[in-house]
Structure 1
């Protein structure tokens, strides 16, 4: 598949960076009149190709809405969205479905695996449905990257939650999409399994050149990214490059609504004792 490469200026040094997706003056509103709620308020953002971007913010900040609009899963009220060099705002449903199928990968909290198929069959299912030939060399690299070599013949009920999410990651990568979106992809996993999946996502960027965008509430997860975007009240209010969990947590506290506790996965609340429920 030929990948279109869009470019954007990145500062005043004359350098250019490839852009996998972009939003310009995007507004997403629900309802009208007094009941109108603005989820995204004139958002401008570029998603760099070949990089790992995390999107964070308090509940209701618009982070999932932004991801859904960038991925073509939701329409915008005004503004424009591009994937590569293609404007997707206003695309008819059929063309939008084809774009999502051919150029975008998705990873969600729910693994969405078919119980009657083994891991290998679940990974190639979207391509089989689309009638696309599987690139076996690429598939082999993906399987090696996510560490599934010994589990391909296993059905979902024979796999742990972390292994099932690895299958979902491999499925998203197998079609060689231009960009992969993850909506809280480790939200249903314990700390160890979540860390394993995040390592695979990181490796897919570093070793396979994948573009990854992940919505998360977890500072530890965000620390795997190259760049973290912070949303509040439907706007991008800050960003961080080369994040650490501690820096992300400190930054999140600046934008958290009063009374909303923030802590990294596994961090105990103040006053808690080891082994107590949080």
Structure 2
């Protein structure tokens, strides 16, 4: 099954398969997946445990290699890049938000946000930094260490860190998995705002129908295959799709 999008695509998987192991120990994680992710949109990836959703995200982000097929980010086919070029592409054109916040405990919120730019030897655009910090609501927390911030605030620092370099795509892997429902809703609302007000492209892996309902579109995997998509989701409509897939 092939997914299509009307808007230009930020990242595209073409006939992507991923196999772990070999011989009798061979495990297919992805099977000929064709899917495109629209630029300036918020897309969620869902599916049962073992469906391949995290593997797909890792392949799209250049964190894992594909066994066959291709992944294109913008005008770059990343599956043909060497390690050095791939490292530079991830640093300059991709942002990441993970379930664990991955903040350095000895750095302030501001220092954590600016860390990717410092590592890349780039000077921050202060007006953009101020804009991102304002949207994420951290202007009065920039001098605080991670230990002085709530879980939701720490994840918002991680989101701002992903945004500050203006990446082509932000990949978010269960970004609310370690948060309570209120903090999770704040982070998801911020991600949605970054799409609608900043034009950011976000691809999020989640198992939570409520989290998925913040997206513009949800794609569903099962047994490593792309099996369905759903636009303008609500928690109830996402659950309905999951139930139909389970009944097949």
Name the TM-score class by shorter chain. over 0.9
Equivalent position of 1:140 in the other structure: 130
Between the aligned partners of 2:113 and 2:49, the Cα distance in structure 1 is: 32
What is the RMSD computed on CA atoms of the aligned residues?
1.5
Between the aligned partners of 2:175 and 2:53, the Cα distance in structure 1 is: 14
Which runs of 4 or more aligned residues in structure 1 lie more than 3 Å from their structure 2 counterparts after TM superposition?
A: none
Which one of 11, 18, 26 corresponds to residue 21 of structure 1?
Answer: 11
Between the aligned partners of 1:81 and 1:137, the Cα distance in structure 2 is: 33
Between the aligned partners of 1:114 and 1:224, the Cα distance in structure 2 is: 29
Which one of 27, 33, 50 corresponds to residue 37 of structure 1?
Answer: 27
Equivalent runs, 1:88-103 vs 2, <5 Å: 88-103=78-93
SS of the residue corresponding to residue 117 of structure 1 reads: coil
- Compare relative contact order (CA 8 Å, sep 6+) and give the higher one, 1 or 2: 2
2:44 is equivalent to residue 49 of structure 1: no
Which one of 69, 73, 79 corresponds to residue 83 of structure 1?
Answer: 73
> Taking structure 1 as the reference length, what is the TM-score of the superposition?
0.86
SS of the residue corresponding to residue 186 of structure 2 reads: helix
| Cα shift at 1:10 | 5.4
Equivalent position of 2:102 in the other structure: 112
More deviation, 160-169/249-258? 249-258
In structure 2, runs of 5+ residues without a counterpart are: none
Number of equivalent positions? 246
Q: Which has the larger radius of gyration?
A: 1
SS of the residue corresponding to residue 22 of structure 1 reads: strand
Between the aligned partners of 1:188 and 1:127, the Cα distance in structure 2 is: 26
| Cα shift at 1:140 | 1.1
Equivalent position of 1:127 in the other structure: 117
Equivalent position of 1:262 in the other structure: none
SS of the residue corresponding to residue 111 of structure 1 reads: coil
More helix by share: 2
